[in-house]
């Protein structure tokens, strides 16, 4: 046997070319990369499902209905896996306090592209009260952006 090298590195572009051909031929499945907002939105879904379930109803205060909108801006820090459902518990306690005050209506998720991941529907006596509610939302502690808008039927 000769001692010529048994391995040679081809051009690095060949790997991409071969992979693309194999994907096109259906022999390899292309890796699907979920955008950050999709992962974050999924986390919000989990949060909101946990918050809305089994909550007793209280009589709502007189006033207007508002939507408290939760945005996962780039500054939002998703929950690390090791802390489990701590955020669910924190938001749930916040919703409990609103509910006890007659100011909680519902929570829900918003699907589709973009950073808007979920909302709380709340009852507030006026715009200033709604702003105070939004300002107290724990979602802001994690870098999330919170907006409040009055809901007119």
User: Does 29 contact other proteins by CB under 8 A?
Assistant: yes
Task: Please answer whether residues 104 and 55 qualify as being in contact, where contact means their C-beta atoms are separated by less than 8 angstroms.
Answer: yes
The answer to whether 31 contacts other proteins (rule: CB under 8 A) is: yes
Question: CA 110 to CA 114: how far, in whole Å?
Answer: 10
Q: How many residues bind other proteins (CB under 8 A)?
A: 24
Q: Per CB under 8 A, does 19 bind other proteins?
A: yes
The one segment of 14-22, 36-44, 47-55, 83-91 that binds other proteins by CB under 8 A:
14-22
Instruction: Look at residues 45, 63, 127, 51 and name the one whose alpha carbon lies nearest to residue 101.
Output: 63
Place of tokens 């701590």: 86
Binding residues for other proteins, rule: CB under 8 A, are 1-2, 4-11, 14-15, 17-19, 21-23, 25, 27-31
């Amino acid at each position: 046997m000769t001692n010529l090298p048994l391995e040679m590195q081809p051009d690095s572009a060949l790997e991409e070319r071969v992979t693309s051909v194999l994907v096109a031929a259906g022999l390899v499945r292309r890796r699907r990369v979920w955008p950050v907002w999709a992962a974050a939105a999924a986390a919000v879904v989990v949060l909101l499902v946990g918050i809305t379930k089994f909550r007793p109803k209280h009589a709502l205060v007189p006033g207007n209905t508002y939507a408290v909108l939760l945005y996962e801006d780039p500054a939002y820090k998703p929950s690390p896996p090791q802390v489990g459902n701590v955020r669910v518990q924190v938001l749930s306690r916040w919703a409990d306090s609103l509910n006890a005050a007659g100011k909680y209506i519902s929570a829900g998720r918003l699907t589709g592209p973009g950073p808007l991941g979920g909302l709380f529907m709340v009852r507030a006596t006026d715009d200033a009260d709604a702003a105070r509610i939004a300002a107290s939302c724990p979602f802001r502690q994690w870098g999330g952006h919170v907006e409040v808008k009055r809901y007119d039927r």
